[in-house]
Amino acid sequence: MPIKAKDLRLYLVMGSQDCLDRDPVAVLQAAISGGITCFQFREKHSARNLRETVELGHSLRALCRTHRIPFLVNDRVDLALILDADGVHLGQDDLPVPEAKRILPPSCVIGVSARSIPEARQAQQEGADYIGIGPMFATTSKPDAKQPIGPEALAEIRQALGDFPIVGIGGITVDNMAAVRQAGADGIAVISAITRADSPEQAAQQLRQCSR
């Protein structure tokens, strides 16, 4: 089923590396209670081996299924298939969209990272279901993140693409999210604003309230 703009309203991206010493399943449960609308399993640079990653993925996937939250997998199409994910998120250095489409079921959502109008147009033409644009602001969650491009770049991409699902990502907090929405994003994707909050549930609640 294609992803709707409203599913992108508050998109949590997370792996165990983002959860400090907390249980990722408990963090996701709290974020769901707080009102996230989409989840991406991004297990990256963590201490887990592949077997442990699959095990955690099954638990997170089950939670999302119970609460009818779209469950996407970062980077790995093989893991997405194993976990019966609703979709994958692919960056510019990951599997190209046409190759991913050859492997994935037609119902599988494909999100693509873009930081320029040509990248965004290519993703749209190749049949991506949404694009993630970032970093909006400086981020501490992705060591290899590029320079922030700000909501201004998102506004230009929005103008070029017209009505196409767009989410902003990178350094987004409750204090700066309004600029991202005003630039034309259908939603915001966050890691630390939820996973590093004292209360992930309250943080998600606050972000959700501010994204109406």
Sign of CA dihedral 91, 92, 95, 99: positive
The answer to whether 199 and 30 are in contact (CB under 8 A) is yes
Q: Return all residues near 201 (Cβ < 8 A) that are at least 6 apart.
A: 30, 31, 33, 34
Q: Which two tokens stand for residue 162?
A: 């017209």
Distance of CA 92 to the CA centre of its chain: 15
Which one of the listed residues 9, 42, 158, 181 is annotated catalytic?
A: 42
Q: Is 139 in the site for ligand 3NM (CB under 6 A)?
A: yes
Which one of the listed residues 113, 158, 181, 211 is annotated catalytic?
A: 113
Q: Is 94 in the site for Mg ion (CB under 5 A)?
A: yes
For the question of residue 146 being annotated catalytic, the response is: no
Number of amino acids touching ligand LCLJCK34 (CB under 6 A) = 18
| Residue 68 φ/ψ, nearest 5 degrees | 55, 45
Q: Is 122 in the site for ligand 3NM (CB under 6 A)?
A: no
Is 152 annotated for ligand binding? no
Residue nearest to ligand 3NM (CB): 134
From the list ligand 3NM, ligand LCLJCK34, Mg ion, none, pick the one residue 9 interacts with, judged by a Cβ distance below 5 to 8 Å according to partner type.
none
For the question of residue 142 being annotated catalytic, the response is: yes
d(CA 186, CA 192): 20
Q: Is 132 in the site for ligand LCLJCK34 (CB under 6 A)?
A: yes
DSSP one-letter string for 117-131: HHHHHHHHHTT-SEE
Number of amino acids touching ligand 3NM (CB under 6 A) = 17
From the list ligand 3NM, Mg ion, ligand LCLJCK34, none, pick the one residue 197 interacts with, judged by a Cβ distance below 5 to 8 Å according to partner type.
none
From the list ligand LCLJCK34, Mg ion, ligand 3NM, none, pick the one residue 40 interacts with, judged by a Cβ distance below 5 to 8 Å according to partner type.
ligand LCLJCK34
For the question of residue 113 being annotated catalytic, the response is: yes
Rg (CA), the chain: 16
Task: Let me know how many helices (H) and strands (E) the chain has, helices first.
Answer: 9, 8
Tell me the binding residues for Mg(2+): 75, 94
The residues binding ligand 3NM (CB under 6 A) are 13, 113, 132, 134-135, 139, 141-142, 145, 169-172, 190-193
